[in-house]
Amino acid sequence: MEFVVYILYSLKNGRNYTGYTSSLLERIKSHNFYGKDGTAHHRPWIVVHVEFFTNQAEALKREKYFKSGRGSILKNKIIKDFINV
């Protein structure tokens, strides 16, 4: 099984969200169309970055890194570079 760490960007208000999943397309649909979780208020989301991993532990480690202080600096640069393309 393959795991994906992803970074989303809200077109509505510029917020971002980082997560990991084994089913990226279903997860993006969930963020944009289904459910009433914390991401629902910031729709629509676009995918600005993905990284693939062969095991869940490595994906979770990378997700946590992007949510850390040092990782958030890299994440914000990735988002900025994507938006300025």
Q: What is the pLDDT of residues 23-41, one digit of tens each?
A: 999 999 999 998 777 889 9
pTM exceeding the 0.85 threshold for the entire prediction? yes
Domain count, the chain: 1
d(CA 62, CA 71): 9
Contacts of 66 (CB under 8 A, 6+ apart): 5, 7, 18, 72, 74, 75
**What CATH number did the domain enclosing 17 receive?**
3.40.1440
Rounded Cα gap, residues 76 and 6, in angstroms: 13
Q: Can you give the residue range of the structural domain that contains 14?
A: 3-83
| Interval 40-50: pLDDT, tens | 999 999 999 99
